[in-house]
């Protein structure tokens, strides 16, 4: 992927840095958000030098408070973040970066660092979030392979069985649709999505990559 500087004018970069309100440690929080899905990927800190490098290189640089040094996101993992836009809040003390994320953002292997829900309203049913949460459960089943788990059983049987189940569920969706049976169509669609997520996990594909491809079709 070709990486372009966000701002090349050094004087302009200096003006931006001077306009920000860094805390007593010389840092500002930076919220990193996927430019396509708008998922929040992570939160880190920037000092003047890491912000300067980010604007100059088009990749995210941060300041590690534990190691007391600058770090380039993806330098060891290859999971670089390519910056599209940089925003600042109304108080000039928090940054928002819209990025194209390569691979995953979290060191745990999750797409986003925010993959554990502590609580939600009873009527919260955002499809994108539900899919992400289910995908994380599926990946955990694949990692642990617990006895008695249907998901683990699918992974044990391998790609051929998983793909077969996707095909079977797709046929069931078609039949329910042709019969105009709404209840059956909902149930079979849920089964199909679940088995598709198992297939994605088996092949190492993230739901967010599918979302990004779907977003292209809005254009």
Please determine, looking at this structure, whether the domain spanning 127-216 carries the CATH number 2.30.29.30.
no
* pLDDT for the residue numbered 122: 65
Give me the tens of pLDDT residue by residue for the chain, a chain 219 residues long.
678 899 999 999 999 999 999 999 999 999 999 998 888 999 999 999 999 999 999 999 999 999 999 999 999 999 999 999 999 999 999 999 999 999 889 998 888 998 887 877 666 567 887 898 899 899 999 999 999 999 999 999 999 999 999 999 999 999 999 999 999 999 999 999 999 999 999 999 988 888 878 877 765
* pLDDT for the residue numbered 108: 87
Domain residue extents for the chain: 10-101, 127-216
Q: Say if residue 162 is exposed, middle or buried (CB neighbours under 10 Å; 0-12, 13-18, 19+).
A: buried
What 8-state DSSP symbol labels residue 26? S
Give the integer Cα–Cα distance in Å for 166 and 42: 32
β-pairing verdict for 95-101 and 28-34: parallel
CA 151, distance to chain mean position in Å, is 23
CATH T-level assignment (fold) for domain 10-101: Ubiquitin-like (UB roll) (3.10.20)
Q: Which residues, other chains included, contact 64 with Cβ-Cβ below 8 Å and sequence gap of 6+?
A: 70, 71
User: For 77-102, how does the pLDDT look when each residue is reduced to its tens digit (9 = 90+)?
Assistant: 999 999 999 999 999 999 999 999 99
* pLDDT for the residue numbered 99: 96
Give 87-132 as a DSSP string.
EE-TTSS-EEEEEEE-S-SSTTS-SSS--------TT---HHHHHH
């Amino acid at each position: 992927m070709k990486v372009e500087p966000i701002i090349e004018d050094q004087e302009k970069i200096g003006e931006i840095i001077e306009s920000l309100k860094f805390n007593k440690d010389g840092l500002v929080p930076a919220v990193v958000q996927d430019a396509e899905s708008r998922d929040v990927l992570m939160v880190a800190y920037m000092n003047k030098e890491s912000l300067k490098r980010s604007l100059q290189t088009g990749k995210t640089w941060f300041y590690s408070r534990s190691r007391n040094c600058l770090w380039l996101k993806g330098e060891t993992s290859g999971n670089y973040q390519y910056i599209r836009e940089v925003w600042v809040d109304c108080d000039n003390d928090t940054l928002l970066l819209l990025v194209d994320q390569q691979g995953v953002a979290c060191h745990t292997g999750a797409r986003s660092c925010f993959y554990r829900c502590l609580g939600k309203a009873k009527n919260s049913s955002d499809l994108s979030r539900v899919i992400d949460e289910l995908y994380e459960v599926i990946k955990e089943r694949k990692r642990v392979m617990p006895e008695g788990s249907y998901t683990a059983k699918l992974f044990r049987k391998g790609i051929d069985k998983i793909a077969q189940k996707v095909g079977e569920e797709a046929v069931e969706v078609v039949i329910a649709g042709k019969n105009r049976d709404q209840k059956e169509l909902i149930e079979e669609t849920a089964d199909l999505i679940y088995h598709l997520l198992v297939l994605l996990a088996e092949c190492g594909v993230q739901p967010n990559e599918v979302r990004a491809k779907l977003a292209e079709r809005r254009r």
